[in-house]
Amino acid sequence: PDQCGNSTSVTGVYTFAQLVSAGFLDVNGQALHNYLFDTCTSTVISPLKPCTVYLALAYEYAPAAKGDFIADNSLAGFAMWEVTGDYNAILVDSLYTAMGI
């Protein structure tokens, strides 16, 4: 367990789908807790109470920003490392929508 008594995963890394099932995000991928948006990194940061633990994740805005960049610069396509942890294709769909495909 962590310092707050909560069980932790082996690596401390959650997939996007696990963030939904753990109750950090709703089924639409929106944060269920107060959050800040770091415009520099396009990252959502959510302080989890009562612990001093911060959840940082690539929200659907990050893939959409990448899709916008691809479309705006007329690039031929993209490569993604791994998307099996996506939930209902929220992240992939945001990329596709931004690219217009």
Q: Is residue 11 part of a domain?
A: no
Structure tokens at 38: 């770091």
Is 60 exceeded by the pLDDT of residue 9? no
How much is the pLDDT for 73? Answer: 92
Q: Is residue 37 part of a domain?
A: yes
CB count within 10 Å of CB 81 equals 4
Question: What is the rounded average pLDDT for all residues in the chain?
Answer: 75
pLDDT band at 77 (very low <50, low <70, confident <90, very high): confident
Is 80 exceeded by the pLDDT of residue 58? no
Predicted TM-score of the model (pTM): 0.54
Give strand pairing partners of 57: 44
Q: Is residue 81 part of a domain?
A: yes
Domain that holds residue 40: 16-99
Q: Is residue 7 part of a domain?
A: no
* Cα separations in angstroms, 83 against 30, 62, 72: 18, 14, 23
Q: Is residue 1 part of a domain?
A: no
Look at the chain and report how many structural domains it folds into: 1
Q: Is residue 10 part of a domain?
A: no
Higher pLDDT, 99 or 39: 99
Q: Is residue 22 part of a domain?
A: yes
Given a contact cutoff of 8 angstroms between Cβ atoms, the answer to whether 100 and 72 are in contact is no
Given a contact cutoff of 8 angstroms between Cβ atoms, the answer to whether 28 and 98 are in contact is no
Q: Is residue 67 part of a domain?
A: yes
